[in-house]
Amino acid sequence: MATMEQCMNALESILGDLAASPAARGLDRSLSCRLPDLGQVVRGRLARGSVHDLRAEPEGQSLEKADIRLTMSSDDLVDLTEGRLSFGPAWASGRVKLEAGLRDLLRLRMML
């Protein structure tokens, strides 16, 4: 199991790359990444070409539903950033879950 510090670094890396993508221009969305094995949810905002206000909180503490929601294990998150796991196969097998509105899903597809 990866540590929370490793997960925060991994999310900053992945989300920073997504936010810098030309397809993300003008995007302003709340996001969350649930890490069930750590009992934590990381919340933040993707806006103005970068990631803002990333913070971890205990799972179930907030009722706020983010626009873009990811769920995966801490190890899978770290593996995604280190190139040992590809998003497409991980999503197709259910190791990574992505929930968002249709418009956000289409935009994310262009960014990945």
User: What is the model's pLDDT at position 78?
Assistant: 95
- Looking at 3-67, list the stretches that DSSP marks H as alpha helix, in order from N- to C-terminal side: 4-20
User: What is the model's pLDDT at position 110?
Assistant: 61
User: What is the model's pLDDT at position 39?
Assistant: 96
Beta bridge partner(s), residue 50 = 47
Q: Would you call 29 helix, strand, or coil by DSSP?
A: strand
User: What is the model's pLDDT at position 75?
Assistant: 96
User: What is the model's pLDDT at position 102?
Assistant: 87
| Residue 21 burial (10 A CB sphere; 0-12, 13-18, 19+) | middle
Task: Return d(Cα 61, Cα 59) in angstroms, integer.
Answer: 6
From start to end of the chain, where are the E strands?
28-35, 40-47, 50-58, 68-71, 97-100
Task: Return d(Cα 25, Cα 78) in angstroms, integer.
Answer: 26
User: What is the model's pLDDT at position 47?
Assistant: 85
| Structural domains of the chain in order of their starting residue, each with its CATH number | 4-107 (3.30.1050.10)
User: What is the model's pLDDT at position 49?
Assistant: 80
User: What is the model's pLDDT at position 96?
Assistant: 93
How does pLDDT run along the chain (112 residues), one tens digit per residue? 999 999 999 998 888 887 787 777 778 899 999 999 999 999 999 888 888 889 999 988 777 899 999 999 999 999 998 989 988 899 899 999 999 888 877 777 766 5
* Cβ(29)–Cβ(46) below 8 Å: yes
